[in-house]
Structure 1
Amino acid sequence: MQTLDWIVLIGTLLLIVVYGTYQSRGSKNVQDYLKGGNTSKWWTIGLSVMATQASAITFLSTPGQAFNDGMGFVQFYFGLPIAMVVICMVFIPLYHRLKVYTAYEFLENRFDLKTRTLTAILFLIQRGLAAGITIFAPAIILSAVLGWNLLLLNVIIGVLVIIYTVSGGTKAVNVTQKHQMVVIFTGMLIAFFLIIDKLPEGITFSKALDIAGASGKMEVLDFSFDFNNRYTVWSGLIGGTFLMLSYFGTDQSQVQRYLSGKSLKEMQIGMMFNGLLKVPMQFFILLVGVMVFVFYQFNQAPANFNPTATEVVLNSEYADEYKDIQEKQLLNHTEKEKIINDFVSNNNVDAAKGIAVLNSINDELRANARSLIEKAGDAQNIKVESNDKDYVFIHFILNNLPRGLIGLLLAVILSAAMSSTSSELNALASTTTMDLYKRNTSEKSEAEMVKASRLFTLGWGIVAIGVACVANLAENLIQLVNIIGSIFYGNVLGIFLLAFFFKFVRANAVFTAALITQVLVIGLFLLNEYEIINLPFLWLNFVGCVIVIAIACLLQSLNSNSNYAEA
């Protein structure tokens, strides 16, 4: 990184922090601090909702996901527009009418305090872990690529977020997220056009799509019911809808974004704006990853994009084997480049098949490289991440973008981390304050409640930094966040659906069913992890929701005149 990159990076981040702190100063009551004074317009709500979901993981992992597996991941979001319609028709009018601060307040009105408390605790567990991961994700990758200290990066990101979130609460989050999304959209658009510009002369965007298609990267839709395929149209429409209903309808980090709306109409328009724009945005980010793939069809890619992993294996007894893989990869690349030129010049069908074959060989070489990295790490007793999906995009940025733009793209990644983490800390503090602290203590003044909210924000910020400092990588960071959510979201959504639509079910039945369901869902997840059953994590949202509703209805029916019946 050059001086100009540092100026752009530091200047962008400090401007966002200072602006957010200044604009949201002076929150003197709970409504101002936790609901932003109910002043947000629909575009603020829509952008804030998108910024909350679009963490740094989105902009690091999603292009790498497309680089490796193509456009199919977009199917994950197919349920989102459906969920937005349901939330606008059912969830938002109810929350607005009851004037709740958190989604879980409604559950006490419908059931009882213990059900509200249990649901709030489930949210705090999964969102507290997720907040740590949203800090850890960019920190681990920037640390590996730039050589920065990982623990220091975790602390810097966390402290920057804590400063303005503690200071201004919900309004600070909403104000900063608008500007963070502008930075994010600008950076990604610039990156996309630069990738196209860096392709060889004569390789237009349409020809780049042809090359990606010949390599199997443009297969967007999968209508199969094969559970071995994690992302299909059906898992997106069914599992994705239940996940999005849970996330946007019951997760306080999202609910709080639209509860700050100026009116019911502003809230609903903001959510529909998100529903219309989110899928195209994810499609575009995946397309950026596919274009990076095409770029590396004409430029030699490393055997592994994680520089730390490469360094470990080259300093081990496996160095010669790894260098042999690099040489084979270079020969493969040279041959593939000739075939690609034949394909784009003559639209040769046989050449298209040849591209696919050579890409398969390259995938096998990269898999062998990962295996050697793991062996080298084990031999040296070093924990090293061999799966390099999350490093693909940052590697491209650092090695191919001009000065100044590298700083901007790094600002995009860190802005996304800050925007998502600030929403999570804000929601964690709101839930702790309103659902646990206020509900279980004596009456407090407005000033005391605001002070408590600030302290809880600070406390959760410290917890998130702590989680980030001890976190470990999964196969892919964006999947890790969704896996954590899927373990809890289905159960929580089922509780809310019971509250909305199953009027005969009472509190004790729901509370017992929720406890049983959470144990069962965790069990199903572990069985899938150990390959005893085949149930992709996205389906846990649907399964958890169905199980809690079924058990609660069964318990209420069996015990209508016993302990589960309530006055």
Structure 2
Amino acid sequence: MSTIDWIVLFGTLGTIAAYGVYKTYKQNSLDSYLRGKNSMNWWTIGLSIMATQASAITFLSTPGQAYEDGMRFIQFYFGLPLAMIIISVSFIPIYYKLKVYTAYEYLENRFDLKTRTLASLLFIIQRGLGAGITIYAPAIILSTLLGWNLTWTNILIGTLVIIYTVSGGTEAVSITQKQQMAVMMGGMILAGIIVIQMLPISFQEALHVAGSMDKLNIVNFEFDLADRYNIWSGMTAAVFLFLGYFGTDQSQVQRYLSGQTLSQSRMGLIMNGFLKIPMQFVILFIGVMVFVFYQFFQPPVVFNKVQTEKLRESEYAGDFEKLEDNYTANFEESKTSYMKMLDAIKENDKESERIIKSELKSLKQEQKEIRDEVKELIVANDPVAETRDTDYVFMRFVMDNLPTGIIGLLFAVIFSAAMSSSASELNSLGSTSTIDLYKRSIKKEASDIHYLRSSKFFTAFWGVGAILFATYASLFENLIQAVNLLGSLFYGTILGIFIVGFFMKWVNGKAVFIGALASEALIFIIHFRNGIGFFDFVWNIGFLWYNAIGCLAVMLFAAIVQFFIKK
């Protein structure tokens, strides 16, 4: 990157962090630190909720996913507005009525201390791990692209977040997320405009190219439990995930508990419900346009440049060069076929269009086979090398093609997204550790200042823990996928506890506690035996369905246990 890009990158990040500290460093009470003095208006809440969910992985992985798989991922969010309405009607009024700091305080009021503690611990486990992954996942990609040391990249992201989150608490997180959202969406929209202008064909022709390769496949009505992204999972299983995430996850609950009024919090949630889908559509569509761009300008065989450079210097360099030549020949033939297809569309020659589309799909299959052979060489040269390069597609395009200054801005987008999600996670972990564990079960009587300091301590503690986890996260596999999977392993059970509390008034604490433990055990059995099963009974279930199964299992098990308790 150029000097200007570095100035834009660090200037943006430094300004946001400094602004958060400057505006909120005088927090002098636990209430103002954890609930932001209940000063947030609805649009600040809405932007904060969106920024919390929009991690760096959203901006790194989503365009790459669209490049590879089209726009069908958008179906994952179709149930979001419904979930926001349910939470606004059922969850928020109860939280406001009880004036809670955390969602889990309600559970002791409704059930007992052990149920509250269980839900808090389930949240801390999954969110504590999630905070490390939120830092690591973008850090490994950014460090590769920029040539930085991975450990120092983790430390940079984590330290910036710790500084302003510990300093200002909930208010600092919320006000910095407004600037971060402006940087994130402004940068992405600008990148989208630039890539469309760089296309050698018209916008309408670009849509024809994308459609011919099934990249505009927004809705899929086929019912398949193993498929994570179709209309059925989006409107059912994903609704349970969103209810668990936005309704019971303290990283989100804390965003709207800082609202001026109940109405402001509701409006902030509804804003998120109806703006998130267009936001994801824009990011996915940018990925599709990058795909179209690379149909006329030759893409790299593998987008992870570090791995291909290692291959050039290895004993497999000759084999790699031959595969690159084959890849170039395939690209030139594909490019010619695209131009012929566009001519056939202009002339309304349906038969020629059909034949050329068939030829293009064969060429794309051949291209995939060449890429797979290159990835085999990469693994042969380095057995622990990561060959999944989808997450490198967008930023490799940015670095190779966008003008000076814009490159720095797009890197600032990724760092800002990592900081916004991490800040919310650390803020919520500090709150839950202080209110639900330390204050409730360890040191029950102390001053407000003592609990304020302990909340800051726990926030910093979890920040350092997240950095350490991120530093050693390379010991684990499939971290990018783990971000989505991790929540689904726990959200269903936590949501089930709350649903029993809200709607099954005849169930007591002992029954729901046992039901929650049984439900969590069931989810882990389903996950670790997925595709394997027991004896002749085998299942293959997409992890989104874990949320629905976990929630319903808590309700069922709790009802059964309560029945026997009464007997």
State whether TM-score is above 0.5: yes
TM-score band w.r.t. shorter chain: over 0.9
Query: Is the 8 Å Cα contact of residues 162 and 459 (structure 2) preserved in structure 1?
Result: yes
- Structure-2 separation of matches of 1:307 and 1:228: 33
- Structure-2 separation of matches of 1:423 and 1:68: 30
- Structure-1 separation of matches of 2:228 and 2:379: 25
- Structure-2 separation of matches of 1:253 and 1:268: 16
Three-state SS of the structure 2 residue aligned to 1:559 is: helix
Which amino acid is the alignment partner of residue 15 of structure 1?
T
Which amino acid is the alignment partner of residue 126 of structure 1?
Q
Which amino acid is the alignment partner of residue 395 of structure 1?
R
- Structure-1 separation of matches of 2:562 and 2:417: 45
Which amino acid is the alignment partner of residue 485 of structure 1?
G
Q: TM-score, normalised by structure 1?
A: 0.96
Question: Hey, what does 1:507 align to over in structure 2?
Answer: 509
Question: Hey, what does 1:565 align to over in structure 2?
Answer: none
Which amino acid is the alignment partner of residue 298 of structure 2?
Q
User: Measured at CA, do residues 494 and 77 of structure 1 come closer, stay the same or move farther in structure 2, by a change above 3 Å?
Assistant: same
Cα deviation 1:396-418 (Å, max 9, x = unaligned): 11111100000000000000000
Cα deviation 1:35-58 (Å, max 9, x = unaligned): 000000000000000000001000
Q: How does 1:109-188 map to 2 (within 5 A)?
A: 109-188=109-188
Which amino acid is the alignment partner of residue 459 of structure 1?
F
Q: How does 1:315-326 map to 2 (within 5 A)?
A: 315-326=313-324
User: Measured at CA, do residues 474 and 401 of structure 1 come closer, stay the same or move farther in structure 2, by a change above 3 Å?
Assistant: farther
Question: Hey, what does 2:395 align to over in structure 1?
Answer: 394
- Structure-2 separation of matches of 1:325 and 1:543: 46
CA-CA distance at 1:530 after TM superposition: 5.6
Three-state SS of the structure 1 residue aligned to 2:530 is: helix
Question: Hey, what does 2:526 align to over in structure 1?
Answer: 524
CA-CA distance at 1:474 after TM superposition: 5.0
Task: Decide which of 257, 277, 280 is 2:278's aligned counterpart.
Answer: 280
CA-CA distance at 1:540 after TM superposition: 0.6
Question: Hey, what does 1:198 align to over in structure 2?
Answer: 198
Aligned residues: 554
Question: Hey, what does 1:449 align to over in structure 2?
Answer: 451
- Structure-1 separation of matches of 2:367 and 2:530: 29
Question: Hey, what does 1:354 align to over in structure 2?
Answer: 359
- Structure-2 separation of matches of 1:530 and 1:38: 50
- Structure-2 separation of matches of 1:190 and 1:529: 43
Task: Decide which of 239, 263, 266 is 1:265's aligned counterpart.
Answer: 263
Query: Is the 8 Å Cα contact of residues 214 and 353 (structure 1) preserved in structure 2?
Result: no
- Structure-2 separation of matches of 1:240 and 1:450: 36
Cα deviation 1:352-384 (Å, max 9, x = unaligned): 222222222212222222222222212xxxx22
CA-CA distance at 1:196 after TM superposition: 0.5
- Structure-2 separation of matches of 1:207 and 1:270: 39
Question: Hey, what does 1:543 align to over in structure 2?
Answer: 549
For the aligned residue pairs, the C-alpha RMSD in angstroms reads 1.3
Cα deviation 1:484-538 (Å, max 9, x = unaligned): 0000001111111000001111111111111121122112111126685301111
Cα deviation 1:256-281 (Å, max 9, x = unaligned): 00000000000000000000000111
Three-state SS of the structure 1 residue aligned to 2:221 is: coil
- Structure-2 separation of matches of 1:312 and 1:528: 36
Which amino acid is the alignment partner of residue 516 of structure 2?
A
Alignment partner of 1:463 is 2:468: no
Cα deviation 1:327-360 (Å, max 9, x = unaligned): 1111110000001111223313322222222222
- Structure-2 separation of matches of 1:326 and 1:333: 10
Cα deviation 1:11-58 (Å, max 9, x = unaligned): 000000000000112111111000000000000000000000001000
Alignment partner of 1:485 is 2:487: yes
User: Measured at CA, do residues 362 and 530 of structure 1 come closer, stay the same or move farther in structure 2, by a change above 3 Å?
Assistant: farther
- Structure-2 separation of matches of 1:9 and 1:498: 47
Question: Hey, what does 1:384 align to over in structure 2?
Answer: 385
Which amino acid is the alignment partner of residue 300 of structure 1?
Q
Which amino acid is the alignment partner of residue 468 of structure 1?
A
Three-state SS of the structure 2 residue aligned to 1:503 is: coil
Question: Hey, what does 1:557 align to over in structure 2?
Answer: 563
Q: How does 1:2-401 map to 2 (within 5 A)?
A: 2-200=2-200, 203-347=201-345, 348-378=353-383, 383-401=384-402
Q: TM-score, normalised by structure 2?
A: 0.96
Which amino acid is the alignment partner of residue 142 of structure 2?
L
CA-CA distance at 1:307 after TM superposition: 1.6
Cα deviation 1:47-94 (Å, max 9, x = unaligned): 000000001000001111111111011111111111001000000111
Which amino acid is the alignment partner of residue 331 of structure 1?
A
Moved more, 480-489 or 42-51: 480-489
Cα deviation 1:133-186 (Å, max 9, x = unaligned): 111111100111111000000001000000000000000000100000000111
CA-CA distance at 1:223 after TM superposition: 1.0
Percentage of identical aligned residues: 51
CA-CA distance at 1:475 after TM superposition: 4.7
Which amino acid is the alignment partner of residue 51 of structure 1?
A
Which amino acid is the alignment partner of residue 96 of structure 1?
Y
CA-CA distance at 1:442 after TM superposition: 2.7
* Unpaired stretches in structure 1, ≥5 consecutive residues: 562-567
User: Measured at CA, do residues 314 and 228 of structure 1 come closer, stay the same or move farther in structure 2, by a change above 3 Å?
Assistant: farther
Which amino acid is the alignment partner of residue 266 of structure 2?
Q
- Structure-1 separation of matches of 2:511 and 2:311: 56
- Structure-2 separation of matches of 1:56 and 1:530: 33
Which amino acid is the alignment partner of residue 283 of structure 1?
F
Question: Hey, what does 1:422 align to over in structure 2?
Answer: 423
Query: Is the 8 Å Cα contact of residues 189 and 282 (structure 2) preserved in structure 1?
Result: no
CA-CA distance at 1:547 after TM superposition: 1.1
* Unpaired stretches in structure 2, ≥5 consecutive residues: 346-352
Which amino acid is the alignment partner of residue 103 of structure 2?
A
